[in-house]
Structure 1
Amino acid sequence: MKNFLLQKGLVIIFALLFCNFLILIPAQTLANPSLIHKFEPLQIGDTIPHEIWDLPFETVNSSIPVEKLQMDKDKLLIIAFWASSCSSSALSVAETLRLQKEFNSKFAIVPVSKESTSSLNEYFHKSNVEKVTRMSTISNDRVLHELFPHFGVPFLIWIKDGKLINTTDMGQLSEKTVNEILTSSPSSLQTVVQLNSDKPIFLSSDFYSYHQNVNLQHYSILLKGIVKGLGGGGTLRENDKGIINGRLFSNQTLGSIYFSLGFDVFRQRKETLFNEKRMIFKMENTQGVMPDSSNHRFYEDNLYSYDILVPENEKDKLNDYIIQDLNRYTEYNIQFENRLTDCLVLVRTSNKDKIKTKAGKKIITFYQKPAVIQNAKLATLTNLLNSEKDISYPIIDETGYTDNIDLKISSTSDILALNEDLQQYDLNLVKVKRNLLMMVIRKK
């Protein structure tokens, strides 16, 4: 079975970065108060304010400490917003800088970050990716962030002939799309307007201001296919009292959404930690639930975004409502059923306590050889073994042991070798049948 935890979407950023658009002109302009004023966000088709071209911007890794956009005014100019907190955005921007060499003086990419020069210098110093450490970038920016507000990175601003012509994600920057713009050919660019996932997606930003007497009781939306204005991931929604009464999944496979729901349902029912071995697929082809990310187009087409808010007094039914919606509006159906299942049960073979911790620092180095668990719960062992793809059976702890443990094992995937190590601690994994709560997934 494929590992859902590794399927988290495209090279789109799955954590959304929220910005406060503060007014702060680069340090070089502070001596001249006439240059300090508020810039309104630009829309596609707007002309870039003439003051911007001559503003001095601080730079990192540049041959000059201060850069002006004036030198790139007559080119196809792409401003690439990135952040060191998102390593994929840094790498993707750095990799696309090679395009500048292919188009000589007709095209320029300008990486831009709002982080301070000192923090970026430290980031580049610590980075072990050569392309990233050599990347020249504008630092300490507020002006461009003010003109082109966004919620996530990387985010691209396309400027030609002094006008904003498009805003896109990084995936659309290629030799083909640059050529289309330079030759005035029909453009295949798809405009990306980033969504503020802090609020219900696609609900008008004016809703609350225009309808102050309205109390939103319920909201839900389900989308299939990648939403380019959203990152990938999930978040819980809280009302103004701090009570969780909603949830957002964005650009995720159904498998990833199901896994998150299974984790919550098991926790609510006080079951052992949910894992993919507790999922049963009653279908021959699982691609609709777990699309292969190597098939880029098919993968994008089978991503889902789902957002829901429920009344505060129904917060305990939130997961039930999510499951009902997914069962009603997708091709698949999930249910939680008790099933007689083959599994491996961890038992003690004597009353001698050979695993009690000698205290000390908590250490878990499970994926090294030998694997070490020190001063941690025995459930740590069973949870980690359940994440091993080479072990096909669910693993259940029936030792009843509650103290912290110390143990060391040489193999985590071979049952025979694993049992040899466990027997040194008077533990054993025994294959039995147990009536277990399982998530059953069916195609309609």
Structure 2
Amino acid sequence: MKSNYFVRGGLWPLGWVVRVFLLFVPVVLVQLFSVLGVCRVYGAGRVRIGERVPDVALFRDAGGKVVRLSGLRGKLVVLDFWASWCGPCVSRIPLVDSLQERYGSEVQFVTVTSQTESEVASFFKAYNGGKGSVVPWVVSDSELGGMFPHNTIPHYVWIDSAGVYRTFSQSVSDAGLREAFKKGRFKVQDLKDVELLPYDYKRPLFLSGNGGEAGRLDYYSLLTGFSEHLGSGSSILVDSVRMKITAHNCSLINLYWLAYCGGNPLRFQTFNTRVETMDSARVISGKVGLEYIDFLRKGGGYCYELLLPASMAAEGYRMMQADLARFFPYKPFIEKKEVPCLALVRTSSVDKLLPHDKEAEPVNDFKPASVVLRNFWLDAFTAYLSLRMSKLGLRVVNQTGLDHPVDMELGVLLSDLEATNKALAAYDLKLVKSTSVLETFVLRDGAGSLSASPVKRSE
């Protein structure tokens, strides 16, 4: 049985055509786990559903005559976009051939590929024992792909007997064909009028508009260097849909604190951290203000984000820890030891810290000589006190037992223990010397990597 090729730019009658399945599949073109081949096609002159298709040349018949779309009026025309590396496409070749033979007087299939004639001919040499095909083929195509943009294959375009584009599909069937050419019923696809955007596989997907913007992000993990266009900070978002851990323009020690915070971003701070690495100046900086920004800009700053579905939120911190272990040659430890401390305790059973409005937006405003907490947690206050009272060499812990957000305002120099206690008395609170088992975050060089550096960044 003869098959004939149409090559865009020329007509190629090839006589007997045979097919071979390529065992080598370029990984940049297809994912093996994909149900459909990925083959994004762009072009001008797009035809939309309900519009008449231009009278393009399709193929040569057995006698070498060019067959145009107008020459197939009265028949249902199905354009079958495919590629030799697409497993689902290849598996459907026998079905398309059988449907063409069964309904040849009423239906005309035309298979279309952007691959070259030599690629397709090589494919056919060993396919199905060297048997030919009853379906004409178009190779080296860009024109038809431009008229009917698609981003997966196989992709079938249905053109009715009057030359009007009626629908598209990812499969064909005996029943579907009969509904179309006998009853004129087409299963109309929900084709949104969306322009397909260029995608460069050499660049990150969706970044800087590569492939457009992601409509829904289920998971990603991102690590970059310093960004001039962001401030410095971190956040943890957990809701019914997702968990998102974010750090922007932070030092490396900030990333470790976030990864090991267990949901409490104040768990580790400078006062309960020891960095024992050979290159500690890369990990933590004692600088402030512009000097700190300069430290971040010169290689000490990182941006990180991890997004997970809510169902995986319990794994979020472990996944961030694993990311840090992959990229940085350090080993973290959490030491627990009973040490002297200052304990924030209650002096009465009267709770004077209940928030006035439990639905109010949380506020925590800390300054060296003032504190404002509204609908916020006392742990934030004790963490800040640990910083302000560092000259005493004692960490401050919350031993009030209060398990709700609080309202509290203090106007006092927080590095002055006596003055702070006088201000706290209004809330029946007091700082007392005590002992407690406290945590210290320790970062050391990993085994065999005392002189190692973080993974080199690509420019």
TM category (shorter chain) comes to 0.3 to 0.5
TM value normalised by structure 1: 0.39
Max Rg structure: 2
TM-score normalised by the chain length of structure 2 = 0.38
